[in-house]
Amino acid sequence: MRVAEAWRVAIDALRANRLRSVLTMLGVVIGVGAVVALVAIGTGTKRQIEQQVEGLGSNLLIVVPGRLDPGAAPTASTLTMDDVDAVIRVVGDRSRVAVTISSGETVRAGSREAYASMQGVLETTPDVFVRRLDRGAYLTRTDVTTGRRVAVLGAGIARQLFGDRDPIGRQVTIGGVRFRVIGTFEELGQSLGVDRDSEVHVPVTAAQRLLGTQRIDGLAIRAPDRERIDALGGAVVAALVKRHPDTDFSAVTQEQILGVLGDILGVLTGVLAAIAGISLLVGGVGVSNIMLVSVRERTKEIGLRKAVGARPRDIGVQFLLEAVLLTTIGGVLGMALGISAALLVDRLTPVPAAVTWWSLALAFGVSAAVGIIFGVIPAQRAGRLDPVVALRTE
């Protein structure tokens, strides 16, 4: 029998039982749709996070107290501004070092108030991280050395406190202490689930006085180039350990952060895909079941085809094609469903989704494979039927 002929017979058989064919396909449609949509969400999330981490700036080195072991207890920081001076000496360039001490504070302007993440920083922050101003100016070195009470507001805070009015030169109180607004940041949006437009930057010295502490939480260094990141990290950690013999310090790069996040997201995507894969498997079992029913129902037809010259192979191929046709049509519909779902999620929710070619190819390949794997048993059974026995059944 010619292949084109086998296709025609398979299509006719599926048409003859339209409703059943559609219901059988549904399992595969949902399974493939779920795989495509969930992989798209996993990929989209991963991409977004990568962009954000890379968007922080290049060649960054984050130095924090404690070990970066998963499960290790967070270490209370013992770093002070003296340590920062030591680090600046190691780096040899103040403009490459940023520090932070952060605290959640209520910011007021007149009768309005907003909850902000106050960051005590050096004037070098815009040199180390990518941070653009919308209006005004950033902190100066003098602001930092004299502990002047000036503040740069995140876009969200500025909007909440001042609406459309220009906040530059106006007074706000942070934790009850008066500060003068000297600048506002460009809008940034969410990053890693944190609203970065609710930051307020003040001189680290002013923040320490406000909080009544000498500590800082951590520091970041921008290496001059990629090659020197590791060496620089080692030198900084060594300098800090020398000053604090009882404390561990870790220096991590963006790549390491991306690596850890990527691993977590990879596992997450894998789990999602596996769950979706199980539903695809269930769809496959459904196909197998229906094909067995179909073989039983059409036993007489099979007997007749054999009586007029169909070989076991011809019958087997016909039923296998039917199964493969069911799952591949289901697969294509499932891809359409998955793509639509991913686009909807991407557009209507904050969750990003990016459909990848490999997930489409995989989903299609798997659905075709499901058809072959789950079609083989019914096809073999049909192929082996004895013609006389088959013709005798009702």
Partner 1 sequence: MSEEPAIVAVDVTRTYDLDGVSVSALRGVSLTVSADDYVAIVGTSGSGKSTLMHLLGALDRPTSGTLRIGGRDVATLGPAEMALLRNETIGFVFQSFHLLTRTTARDNVALPLVYRGVGRRERRARAAEMLERVGLAHRLDHRPNQMSGGEQQRVAIARALVTGPSVLLADEPTGNLDSTTGEQVLGLLESLNADGVAVVLVTHDREVAARAHRQIVMRDGLIVS
Interface with partner 1 (CB under 8 A): 1-2, 5, 16, 300-301, 303-314, 386-388, 391
The least CB distance from residue 25 to partner 1, in Å, is 21
82 vs 386 by CB, closer to partner 1: 386
CB 170 within 8 A of CB 139: no
Question: What are the structure tokens assigned to 160, written together?
Answer: 């909440």
- How far apart, in whole angstroms, are the C-alpha atoms of residue 42 and residue 54? 18
- The secondary structure of 225-262 as a DSSP string is SGGGHHHHHHHHHHHHHHH-TT--EEEEEHHHHHHHHH
For every residue of 56-102, DSSP letters joined together read T-SSEEEEEES---TTPPPPPP--BHHHHHHHHHHHT-GGGEEEEEE
CB of 320 to partner 1, least distance (A): 16
Residue 316 or 371 having the CB closest to partner 1: 316
230 vs 386, which CB is nearer to partner 1?
A: 386
Q: Which two tokens stand for residue 2?
A: 């010619």
Q: Count CB atoms within 10 A of the CB of residue 154.
A: 26
Q: Which is nearer to partner 1, 2 or 242 (CB)?
A: 2
Q: Which is nearer to partner 1, 15 or 347 (CB)?
A: 15
Closer of 9 and 276 to partner 1 (Cβ): 9
CB of 375 to partner 1, least distance (A): 20
In the complex, least distance from residue 313 CB atom to partner 1, rounded to whole angstroms: 7
How near is the Cβ of 287 to partner 1 at its closest, in Å?
22
Specify which residues 201 forms β-bridges with. 119, 152
Interacting residues of 88 by C-beta distance below 8 A, sequence separation 6+? 94, 97
Q: Token pair 């850890």 is at which residue?
A: 260
Q: How far is the CB of 388 from partner 1 (least distance, A)?
A: 5
